[in-house]
Amino acid sequence: MNLLESKVIQTKFEKEIFIDEISNIELSGFQYPNKNFSYYEMMIGVDLLRIRNNEFYGTKKSYFGLKITEDLQSIVIFEPDLQSIFAVKNEQEKQAAIELIDYLLIESPKFKELVRHMIYNNKQANVVSDMEIQEHNAKLSVLEGLLNVGNLDVKMAVQTKNIAC
């Protein structure tokens, strides 16, 4: 029997269930540091099954962002403006979301497999100019760093936005 790894975020109204499969994880929006911004940045999306009143209520994609320092020694998790995994959650529910993110970045074999696949595809890319080569090498370094998050001395902090009501 092949059991799937899953994680559950229990909210006030429903259960949000992440099933650890490559098809349920998305890495997008890779940005490079520039003179105004000293981080690499990317968005990670996870598909969550929603269960309300013990019935399937649909799925949703939730996102969180990563800011990674140029020296690849520090990762900051941030809350995106739209479809945030932290949206409409109390502190306890946000802590459960952080535990899911921690699992995804450090332990998830499917996340690591997705990153390895992205590294392979990047290595196959045809880059020509010096700028493309620099960006290509930087992206490879960041992706390879994501494979070793659990082995590095990485500081993790969550930046959330305070919205006045």
Q: Report whether 119 contacts 46 (CB < 8 A).
A: no
- Whether residue 143 is predicted with pLDDT greater than 90 in this model: the reply is yes
Which secondary-structure segment (H or E) carries 130? helix 130-147
Q: Look up tokens 């760093």; give the residue.
A: 145
Phi then psi for residue 5, to 5 deg, are: -80, 135
Q: Place 158 in a pLDDT band, splitting at 50, 70 and 90.
A: low
99 alpha-carbon distance from chain centroid? 12
pLDDT score at 156: 53
Most confident segment among 36-40, 95-99, 152-156: 95-99
pLDDT score at 74: 81
pLDDT score at 164: 41
Mean pLDDT of 22-43: 91
Q: Report whether 63 contacts 85 (CB < 8 A).
A: yes
- Whether residue 109 is predicted with pLDDT greater than 90 in this model: the reply is yes
Neighbours of 140 (CB within 10 A): 15
